[in-house]
Structure 1
């Protein structure tokens, strides 16, 4: 019926999909101007999950029109659909006049955004921001949408000062939830967690349904170490909008850390259930649920959950590592030390195979298992590497400290964290000193050695990029150094796709190459 409506409107290039997976397949192979998507797509991902995955994988851009169609009016569905931010959603029954009217309005609003999307796809964010400015100067028909796109771009490239200015200009005219939330993100990025929390709280007071602000408020409380308030915020948010697997997992993680095993169990079970066909389906939820069950003296049920994880993620080495790591703890709790050590040996083998792909969370998880089996030396070695590779990440350091406090190693843990941080800070300071003195060779030697020892240190890799760029700025462009920078930037992007320096250094390097 919808296909025929669109045909009558004069559209000739039309594809149809009979399931969520089919829709994702079409979106992966073709670019679409308009997507009309039912919420209920039968077995597999629903319309909300299709849109989530399409956005996460950049299969749709700012100029694509996405219309959600549904017969459901439940609060859960409405909130979930609103969170994924389709351009419109229509309640059935639908007739051609209604559909055509809505799409014509959306086309008028969206047709000017194509040039911005093209620049975003080529990662030319400076050009995308410039196109936003041109549209705003020409009195675009959709100024709020263009301002929002521009603010997202500014945050992406790390220009927090310009983003802050934009948000303040918008807020001076009227109280807008997205702008106040954006200003809160700027404060969060500058480690002003109290100021950020205040703004996010104000957004929720004015607009309780603006759930993004609740997610950021919980993050702010976590950054301040207030896990009780973080859990309360997430509990309220999941009551309003329960169908986000990421939010349910965040609630489970915080509740588990707070010792609220019943809350954590419910949250992780919901994460697994609603994430079954989601792009956010994660083996970590299974692992954490198994931890909760084990701590609740339900060891056999914990092993059953891990068996499900093995089946669902059978070709995923990270999932295999998580499963083996938690298995070792479950078996140890059951008094089966031989099985525990065998599982941990398997986890170690998988960790060695992953190499630089081993995340901080996985390293902390491994350390926890080593501590439970009495291998404090290996655990401290892993935790020291976590802190060194992420010495500016207060949240991760907090996790390390929390683990060691729970294991009655608070004093030794504090000393480990401080010593690990100091080692990295001293190296960085020495590298900066060499750069200021113009001794690039000594600086590069120092930082290259540090990156070799700390291959997952986002800060160290970025600093090495900065030093190489500084040398080329002074001495001239050299392709061999530029190639090294590109390789390093790719590593940074793999560690953290939203790293601010990645985008700015990519632009600087491109300008250098054009000027060479």
Structure 2
């Protein structure tokens, strides 16, 4: 192959190997060679020019973006040509590393050391394949699925030597287009002709999309028995069992998939979902941490992943009956907050985020778990005021934990208002955030219904002048929501009416009034609640020293 007119990018954090490999590529005839030592420099180079070959080491330094994370970002951002060959090289031959690298579909994976002849042969084969399939890759890069499907069909009909690759791509394109029956129609004869693992996997996935879960499970189980290291089969088993609500079997399958190929954000997210269904909160915590660690250096970087990890620790504490273990989780929470406060990844987060405010929201959750309800309410109220001043739009990352504390404290109106604000923002929420919001609402649903029922009765009695009955109903509402500001104001209003009806105010009634006033004056309130409180102070001043 003639490399003289080809542009080559070499990426390796070890300068000696970088220099050596550059010399090898020059000896192969390449004249335009760029050599860099990290993924960020490689991405910058790809933005300046389009390379024909990219040869990248898998490990690019501790705590740095690695080779397949660079590959994924370069492709998703269209920084490479459709015919660009991406070869990953590594001295690491451990199975989990190799499987996870291959999962990102580089054009080749070479184990160090290798000779110039080996490199030349592998690169030339990969380039020829890319050139033949250029029409398919061009359409895929433009997200033009119909044209990509047509190009695949045309190549298969031409009798290309790359028919197997075309069939695999065609199956993926059919899935993307929602044409599952077409995929099944193409794959079924292939399985009958010559059973191959990839065909069985593709057919099992197609059956899953067609909701033929038993057929998908049978195929995936069969191919996994013949190929125990085929992690895709375990992925399919996990998803099918999950869709059949067999959560225990789903957990076994996803744990096996992660054991084989752990370096996948999508797989770790799937494990989080399955672990939640099994109420396996320790596993949710561990997998959430893996999601953040894997994603923070990749194109999947999102502050919500870090928030989900923090939240998972407190969820584990909340569902723990052992006081010592709960205390351990809370200590783990504070340690995690301190550890990630100065994480370099936070500086690269695109979303506007205030770490200190979020830390205080989590502190409010901890206060609630410890039974310090008023402290939790005060801390959360201060956070909401700071958010209103600091941000134009409410940050979605703050919402799940804020709403969780609001619902726990019985501040249902506040929680509903924040939920509506979040819905109006139009921001697409990740699955972990959606689950947190949904579970919080479901857990508080019965208490909220009881609160609303008692509060409604109290309002009806009050409007009819039945102040004692109103007071009784509001008191019942307060038992459900002990620190709810609205119901506390309603009780205060009832007390004032009841005292006004007495010929001589009773000492007990005056003391109750004083206690409620002290309770309310230290609360951080919404503007509407504050206005109502101020309007009651003139009547309060007849019986209580009002500040």
Shorter-chain TM band = 0.5 to 0.7
Cα contact 2:43–2:74 (8 A) shared by 1: yes
Asked whether 1:262 is paired with 2:282, we answer yes
| 1:5 counterpart residue number | 24
- 1:177-211 C-alpha deviation (Å, 9 max, x unpaired): 33333334434434444544444334433333222
Asked whether 1:243 is paired with 2:263, we answer yes
- 1:458-508 C-alpha deviation (Å, 9 max, x unpaired): xxxxxxxxxxxxxxxxxxxxxxxxxxxxxxxxxxxxxxxxxxxxxxxxxxx
Instruction: Provide the C-alpha distance between the structure 2 equivalents of 1:400 and 1:170, rounded to a whole number of angstroms.
Output: 45
Instruction: Provide the C-alpha distance between the structure 2 equivalents of 1:227 and 1:323, rounded to a whole number of angstroms.
Output: 33
Instruction: Provide the C-alpha distance between the structure 1 equivalents of 2:399 and 2:163, rounded to a whole number of angstroms.
Output: 46
Correspondence 1:111-510 to 2 at 5 A:
111-294=131-314, 295=317, 296-297=326-327, 298-306=329-337, 309=340, 311-312=342-343, 313=346, 316-317=350-351, 320=354, 326-334=362-370, 335=372, 336-337=375-376, 338-344=378-384, 353=393, 367-377=403-413, 379=415, 402-407=439-444, 409=446
Instruction: Give the structure-2-normalised TM-score.
Output: 0.64
Aligned residues: 407
| 1:449 counterpart residue number | none
- 1:270-320 C-alpha deviation (Å, 9 max, x unpaired): 334444433334433432332333313333432443455554425544755
Deviation at residue 65 of structure 1 after TM alignment: 1.8
Deviation at residue 69 of structure 1 after TM alignment: 1.1
Task: Give the direction of change, closer, same or farther, for the CA distance of 1:196–1:41 in structure 2 (3 Å limit).
Answer: same
Instruction: Provide the C-alpha distance between the structure 1 equivalents of 2:238 and 2:447, rounded to a whole number of angstroms.
Output: 25
Asked whether 1:38 is paired with 2:57, we answer yes
Task: Give the direction of change, closer, same or farther, for the CA distance of 1:384–1:185 in structure 2 (3 Å limit).
Answer: farther
Higher helix share: 1
Q: Runs of 5+ in structure 2 lacking a partner?
A: 1-19, 318-325, 451-547
Asked whether 1:83 is paired with 2:103, we answer yes
Cα contact 1:249–1:271 (8 A) shared by 2: yes
Q: Name the SS of the counterpart of 2:35 in structure 1.
A: coil
Deviation at residue 10 of structure 1 after TM alignment: 2.5
Task: Give the direction of change, closer, same or farther, for the CA distance of 1:158–1:9 in structure 2 (3 Å limit).
Answer: same
Deviation at residue 351 of structure 1 after TM alignment: 8.8
Which residue of the other structure, out of 16, 21, 31, is the alignment partner of 2:40? Answer: 21
Alpha-carbon RMSD: 3.8
Deviation at residue 19 of structure 1 after TM alignment: 1.1
Instruction: Provide the C-alpha distance between the structure 2 equivalents of 1:350 and 1:39, rounded to a whole number of angstroms.
Output: 41
Cα contact 2:83–2:127 (8 A) shared by 1: no
- 1:318-368 C-alpha deviation (Å, 9 max, x unpaired): 75597676454234324231113333555678897159xx5xx98665543
Q: Name the SS of the counterpart of 2:86 in structure 1.
A: strand
Q: Name the SS of the counterpart of 2:33 in structure 1.
A: coil
Task: Give the direction of change, closer, same or farther, for the CA distance of 1:202–1:276 in structure 2 (3 Å limit).
Answer: same
Deviation at residue 147 of structure 1 after TM alignment: 1.4
Q: Runs of 5+ in structure 1 lacking a partner?
A: 414-516
Instruction: Give the structure-1-normalised TM-score.
Output: 0.67
Instruction: Provide the C-alpha distance between the structure 1 equivalents of 2:237 and 2:358, rounded to a whole number of angstroms.
Output: 29
Cα contact 1:63–1:111 (8 A) shared by 2: yes
Name the larger-Rg structure: 2
